[in-house]
Every structure is written in C-alpha cells, then in structure tokens.
Amino acid sequence: MPFVPHTPADIAAMLGVIGVAAIDDLFDEIPAALRIGELAAIPTGMAEMDIARLMQVRARADGEPVCFIGAGAYDHHIPAVVWQIASRGEFYTAYTPYQAEASQGTLQLLYEFQSMMTALTALDVSNASLYDGASALAEAVLMAVRANRKAKSSRVLVPRALHPAYRRVLRGIVEPQGIEVVEAPFDRRGGHTPAATLDSLAGAEGFAAVVINQPNFFGVIEDADELTDAAHAQGALVIGVVNPIALALLKPPGEWGTAGADIACGEVQPLGIPLSSGGPYAGFLCCKKDLVRQMPGRIIGRTLDLDGKPGFTLTLQAREQHIRRGKATSNICTNQGLLATAATIHMAILGAEGLERVAAASHANTRQLTALLCKTAGVEPLFDRPCFHEQALHLPAPTADVLRSLAADTILGGFDLGLDYPELDPALLVCATELRTAEEMEHYAAKLAEIIASQTVPG
C-alpha cells in the first residue's frame, strides 16, 4: 500500500480500540445516498520505477531548446548549492512557522530574505513572499489604495508598457473591490512612459497610486525619478515594479526622485528559481516603514526569548486572515516559502557583486545579440531609448512564422509583441542572459537571416 504503513495486526488492534468492526464503519455518518464505490476514471496505481519511466519520456519529449525569451521569466545560472539545500527535508517538508521555537531555521532564513530584499530595493521592510510578481503587484495596489487616505480617488495609473499579463492579473484582482485601473500610453519613439501623461490623465480625481515599471516590459529604462516626483506631486503613492537582477545595476526604488517609491514589488524568479513552465515562482513586496501595517502576507520579526536570547517569529499577525478574518489586509495564507528559501541562498552565494556581474553580462549579451540580429535588413530596434537586458525589435516578416521556423531549429526566438501590442506588429522581444554563448547568438542570427530571406523572396 503506497505510503500507508499499517499491518493487518495494526488495523485489527486499532479497530478494536475504536470499537468498530471495519474501517468502513468510520464513514457511517455520511448519508448513504452520497457514498460512492470507486473512482472508476482514475487509473490503477504505479510503482515508482514505472512512473519514473513515464515522466522521463515526457520530460525528454519537451526538449531543451536554446532560450532567447525573457518577458518576465529569465534563464539564469542557478548554483548547485541552491536547490540541494532548499530541497533538504527540513525546509522542504516544514509548514508555515506557527510554532516559532521549532521553526527557527525557516524563520531566520525568511528574516534574512526580508533583509536582502530591503537592501536591493532600498526600502525599509519586506514581507516573506507572495504568489508571483503579478499577484504581488495586485496586493501592492490594494495596499496603496488602503494606505493613501489623503487621496479621494480609488484610481490607479499603470503603464501600458507594463507586462500584459501583470495588467490582466491586476484588473482581475482589484476591480471587484471598486478600484479603477487607468493605462498610461508609452512613447512610440522611446518606448518609455512620459511623465507628462500623469498630469494629462489625472483628471479632477487624481490617482491613489501610480505604478512605475523599471525597466518596463520592452526593457526600456524609464525616467523613474521624474515619474516618481510627478506622482508624488499629485498626492499618489508610487509603486515600483522591478526585476531584482536589474536592481544590482539600476537605481533602487527607495532612491527614485526626491522621496523614493513608497512600495516596490516584483518577481523573485530571476534569483535562483528554475523557469519550470511558469511556476512555482514567488512575488516580493517591500515598502516604507510607515506602510507596514497595511502590508499583506507573512512578516518575520526578530525578538527575544524568555532568557533574553534573540530569536525570530511571525509578527504583526493582527493584519492577517487567521486573526482578522474578513477585515484582514489580504486573504493570503500559504505563500511561496520554499522559493523565498531558494532565493535567499542564491543571493547569499552571489552577493551584490555576483548579481551585478550577472546583470551586466545579461545586458551585454542582449546588446550583442541585438547587433547580430540587426544585421538582417529590416530587423531593427523598435525604440531609441536605453534598455536593460531585453530588446524590442521590429521584424520584416510575420512574427509567428519566424518564431515557428526558429523553433524547428530548437531556438526559442523571443516573445511575440504583436499579440498584446497590435500597433507594434510585427515585433519581437528578445533577451540573452549570461547563459547564452556567442555561438548560440551567432547561430540564432544566422537562422533568422535565412528565415527572413526565405520569407521576403517571392515564390
């Protein structure tokens, strides 16, 4: 019996203690009409060696193409240490550290995670993770609207140059609470969000919060200082959506403009989490100290025990659903603890200098890839502003056809921008992390040239 240890003698002894004749008697309070016999559509069980064979065949079938897609999930090196430690049973099979004394490992690690995230973002406090970057943004917006008591508005301004899936998730989560999401257009030449649009869209009501995405979905570096000051001048709170790897190079949200962003959030995935078809990843959420009581999710604090010895515990639990129920800051309970564990180990190994090297190498590789791809006539950068580690390109042929031909050559050529931005079609968003070699990039450029040539020559 897989994973059930009971011997016939155990079962007989246990039934005797309970005082029933058979296990089935234990279900006698369930109305008979509702009882089912068997789950006929479930296959019979498999031994580990058999399911291993099946999974190996399926994993191999998916191949391991060379990845030039970024678009919110990035193919970075993950040190072997990260998952060997994160997969230790003591981390992998523990739960939310409700019993602090028996969970000091997880609690201290998450305190270190919070410390590292506040260092990267230059903000005061961090929570212990949310589901992913997009849902973290939704929580950040809910938090900002709650916190901004000065603003009469429950409108938030979001750049159209923010990840399309983030905008969709945001709308789905915040609109039921009566929050209106307004989109700020991007500049067609620069690909950035002009600060002037904040004023033109503010209207009489203004905004409770303004979202700044640095770099934005196109990889374009926004003028975060100017946007932050413009938003603050309107009485809005500023939410930065940032890539933690980019933070090794770019100015952190806490230092944007005169006063700094109020909240920063984003995707933890680039910090040691495998691509894995999209999850599990983790979201992070940091903020200024005075907003901490509006923050959703678990927060770990350092305190003292009865003997005056330092220790770690879940704190500010009065914000959370298990205490406040319908009045909680969020419904979140289970978060992404194991991914925060991996990210903490990853950041400890890389350090700030290691992360800066990863960021710089990814940026330089993308620059190199762009130069190679743009050798093909008609392939050119869509925007003229500086980018970080991602590049939007105009194509002289239908993007879907190009990507399909590249895929046949085990190249994942990029993200088809025309799907979400029809005004840019045909266009491609490419990324070459530090893992891409010169040979891989040259191979991609050569194949693209071939494909474009075959597409544009009639007949």
Partner 1 sequence: MLIHEQSQPGRRATAQAPLQLADCADIPAAQRRTTRALLPEVSELQVVRHYTRLSQKNFSIDTHFYPLGSCTMKYNPRACHTLASLPGFLARHPEAPDHQGQGFLACLYELQEMLKEVTGMQAVSLAPSAGAQGEFAGVAMIRAYHQARGDTARTEILVPDAAHGTNPASAVMCGFVAREIPTGPDGDVNLEALRAAVGSQTAGIMLTNPSTVGVFDRNIQEIARIVHEAGGLLYYDGANLNAILSKVRPGDMGFDVIHMNLHKTFSTPHGGGGPGAGPVGVSQRLEPFLPVPLVARDGTAYRWLSEANRPQSIGRLTAFGGNMGILLRAYVYARMLGREGMKRVSEFSTLNANYLMARLREAGFEAAYPQRRASHEFIISIKQEAKAFHVNAMDFAKRLLDYGYHAPTTYFPSLVPECLLIEPTETETKEELDGFVAALVAIREEARTNPDLVTGAPHTMPVRRLDDVRAARQLDLAWRPDGAPA
CA distance 103 to 313: 9
Q: Does position 274 bind partner 1 by CB under 8 A?
A: yes
Q: Does position 316 bind partner 1 by CB under 8 A?
A: yes
Residues 21-60 that bind partner 1 (CB under 8 A): 23-24, 26-31, 33-36, 38-48, 51-52, 54-60
> Least distance to partner 1 from the beta carbon of 340, Å?
8
The amino acid sitting at 39 is L
Please give the size of the binding site for partner 1, defined by CB under 8 A. Answer: 203
Q: Which residue of 160, 181, 194, 357 would you call a contact of partner 1, by CB under 8 A? A: 357
Residues 191-220 that bind partner 1 (CB under 8 A): none
Which residues, at least 6 apart from 151, have a Cβ–Cβ distance to it below 8 Å?
206, 207, 208, 235, 236, 237
Stretch that binds partner 1, among 145-153, 355-363, 372-380, 438-446 (CB under 8 A): 355-363
Q: Please, which residue, 122 or 449, has the CB nearer to partner 1?
A: 122
Q: Which residue of 8, 204, 334, 439 would you call a contact of partner 1, by CB under 8 A? A: 334
For the chain, the residue count is 459
Q: Please, which residue, 43 or 458, has the CB nearer to partner 1?
A: 43
Distances (CA, A) of 161 to 142, 164, 222, 283, 289: 21, 8, 10, 20, 29
Q: Does position 8 bind partner 1 by CB under 8 A?
A: no
Q: Which residue of 3, 149, 457, 458 would you call a contact of partner 1, by CB under 8 A? A: 3
The answer to whether 136 and 284 are in contact (CB under 8 A) is yes
Stretch that binds partner 1, among 145-153, 188-196, 267-275, 442-450 (CB under 8 A): 267-275
Residues 225-254 that bind partner 1 (CB under 8 A): 225, 247-252
Stretch that binds partner 1, among 117-125, 182-190, 200-208, 449-457 (CB under 8 A): 117-125
| DSSP class of 43 | P
Q: Does position 105 bind partner 1 by CB under 8 A?
A: yes
Question: What count of other Cβ atoms lies within 10 Å of the Cβ of residue 94?
Answer: 17
| Angle of the 337-373 helix axis to the 438-456 helix axis, nearest 10 | 60
What would the DSSP string read from start to end of 419-436?
GT-GGG-SEEEE---TT-
Q: Angle at CA 42, nearest 5°, toward 39 and 43?
A: 130
Q: Which residue has the tokens 């502003």?
A: 385
